[in-house]
Amino acid sequence: MVKASDDRVGEEVTLFSPYKLGKFQLEHRVVLAPLTRCRGINGLPNDAHVEYYSQRATPGGLLITEGTHVSDTAAGMPNVPGIYTEEQVQAWKKVTDAVHAKGAIIFCQLWHVGRASHPVYQPNGATPISSTNKPISSKWKAFLPDGSEVEYPEPRPLSRSEIIELVEIYKQAAINSIRAGFDGVEIHGAHGYLLDQFLKDHINDRTDEYGGSIENRLRFLLKVVEVVGSAIGPERVGVRISPAIEFNDAIDSDPLGLGLAIINKLNKLQESIGSKLAYLHVTQPRFMAQEGFDDGAEWAIKWREAYQGTFITSGGFVRESGIEAVAKGEADLVAYGRLYISNPDLVKRLKINAPLNKYDRNTFYIPDPVVGYTDYPFLSEEEERNGVSSL
């Protein structure tokens, strides 16, 4: 059993036990994972977002928003909200107010897709940016606003001065998030998006201080974490990584070593500033169900053991596996994605072992403000009474 990071020795810990997340008191360990839903028309959260997030808010529950653009170059899918204009900040305030009214905590995930974009999403049809000029392979497709899918274009490598500018862009997005009422931010360094394009050696072919050695490849991410933490407080900053996930060709020759190197640097950063980050969020390899991959569970345990702080895990968890992960100390918190889409009252359903609504993949990324977004049913009183709890 792995030692949990904030649990008293001898106490039985479950998925529904309270947890102290830095300055925040959680009443259970079920987290809403960040989920792109493509309902942010014109880059703005709206009344549908208010309803969606407040439906999933519970007293002392942690919600992480969909990936939220840090700038006008960050987009790679249609109708995704941003956090870089004043209009966006004001629109998000309605969401955070509704979530806080339910007693929940909400973090904004800061997202830049890098090369996982297309000129149709870029200002003046510009070329998407990355660590490299290598495009994502034809195995993956860009999803355009008209619903068509095309191959990704060749990106443009960022200059060193542009990387420094982007660090400041992340900083401002974090400041904007706090102004919008968010309790913190999650820096998206996973799934083959911009920061991950620097981390993974299959992508990053730079010869400057941002490429080559593992220390150089970590430089951009760590600078963002450091600067954002200085701006809003490290206890309000979470970091998401996915060393073993090959989504968008994000392949590394040594995923275990990459994960441990990131964690070692984050631990040193926490020690140097005398404060913990909010959490480290790691996507399990089961997220992609990668064929022939059987090292993932062992690697995840090693990453968990190495990180000195709150550890969130996600990637295909169901009730039983989530309960097991917390009970064994393999994670402090478990983030659920698809099950939370179709079950706005997921926490209650998991706790009493009630049946779950099935999700409809066809409505994951459509702009409809209701269908597949806020119209999934809650448990009826009768169904709630018939729930069978095994806890």
Q: Are 51 and 378 in contact (CB under 8 A)?
A: no
pLDDT (tens digit per residue) in 228-252:
999 999 999 999 999 999 999 999 9
**Residues 357-372: b if buried by 16+ CB within 10 A, e if exposed:** bebeeebebbeebeeb
Distance CA 329, CA 312 (A): 11
DSSP states along 343-358 = -TTHHHHHHHT---PP
pLDDT (tens digit per residue) in 85-144:
999 999 999 999 999 999 999 999 999 999 999 999 999 999 999 999 999 999 999 999
φ, ψ dihedrals at 247, nearest 5°: -60, 140
pLDDT (tens digit per residue) in 332-384:
999 999 999 999 999 999 999 999 999 999 999 999 999 999 999 999 866 77
Where in the sequence numbering do the catalytic residues fall? 193
The model carries a pTM of 0.95
How many CB atoms within 10 Å of residue 209? 13
